[in-house]
Amino acid sequence: LGESAGAITRAHWNSVYGSKQPDQVSWFRPHLDASLEYLRTSGIERSAAVVDVGGGASTFVDDLLNAGYGDVTVLDVSDEALRVVRDRLGERAQRVKWVRTDVTELTMPSGAFQFWHDRAVFHFLLQPHARERYVAALRRTLASRGYALIATFGPDGPEKCSGLDVRRYDADALEAELGDGFKRVANSTEVHITPWGTPQQFVYALFRRKEPRR
């Protein structure tokens, strides 16, 4: 069952990126300004390992490279999405690590990342076990004192994204999902305007991984 659910997810997203221009999807923004601002204010080094989880075709990776971040991973369940961004980046794509996987099945080494970025991915996880696996992957791969920025539709946001049902969160609910081991350091809401002018409420929350107990 797990495998077939994964195959359906992948087929959905491959068909989205195979049929729509990157700027013709509801979640498109020319730049992920709020995410970039959180990254800057976290103060992590330019050499720190940053992962864009479900990066899709967004320009976050372009902006990271432009800002001099040297250890960038883009992860997505859709090979089509990764292809679109790789093509756009051309030569510069070689400076990025590309990981085609479902985040709930992520097998990366422990402490691999210092900054985890997820905009509009966690909210698709409807099954408790899928959210548990996401949080387990985050716990394992985020280094001690690393940051996780998670953005989802907010309580007043839409009930669907890309035609799929979503769960909506406020910052407290996101914090509760992550459980012990994370400290919330900031949060905000954003009214995102889709390319066709519809407002959508997003909630952003920045968490810091606590030091392991001695």
Ligand X SMILES: C[S@@+](CC[C@H](N)C(=O)[O-])C[C@H]1O[C@@H](n2cnc3c(N)ncnc32)[C@H](O)[C@@H]1O
Cα separations in angstroms, 91 against 85, 88, 96 = 11, 9, 10
Taking CB under 6 A as the binding criterion, the range among 55-63, 87-95, 135-143, 201-209 that sits at the site for ligand X is: 55-63
CA dist., res. 56 & res. 174, Å (int): 22
Check binding of 77 to ligand X (CB under 6 A): yes
Q: Single out the residue of 76, 112, 147, 171 in contact with ligand X (rule: CB under 6 A).
A: 76
DSSP-derived 3-state class of residue 79: helix
What is the DSSP code (8-state) at residue 187? E
Site string for ligand X, 90-119 (x = CB under 6 A): ------------xxx--------------x
DSSP-derived 3-state class of residue 68: coil
Residue 55 or 146 having the CB closest to ligand X: 55
Residue 102 or 177 having the CB closest to ligand X: 102
Tally Cβ neighbours within 10 Å of residue 196: 7
> Where on the phi/psi map is residue 43: left (φ > 0), alpha (ψ -120 to 50), or beta?
left
Check binding of 58 to ligand X (CB under 6 A): yes
Q: Single out the residue of 137, 161, 178, 206 in contact with ligand X (rule: CB under 6 A).
A: 161
Residue 104 or 114 having the CB closest to ligand X: 104
79 contact partners, CB below 8 Å, separation of at least 6 = 14, 100
Q: Single out the residue of 27, 115, 122, 153 in contact with ligand X (rule: CB under 6 A).
A: 27
Check binding of 157 to ligand X (CB under 6 A): no
Residue 120 or 135 having the CB closest to ligand X: 120
Residue 152 in contact with residue 166, Cβ under 8 Å? yes
Tally Cβ neighbours within 10 Å of residue 164: 13
List the beta bridge partners of residue 184.
207
**How many residues sit close enough to ligand X to count as binding (CB under 6 A)?**
20
The interface with ligand X within residues 170-209 (CB under 6 A) comprises: none
Check binding of 137 to ligand X (CB under 6 A): no
- Residues near ligand X, by CB under 6 A: 9, 13, 27, 54-56, 58, 76-78, 81, 102-104, 119-121, 124, 161-162
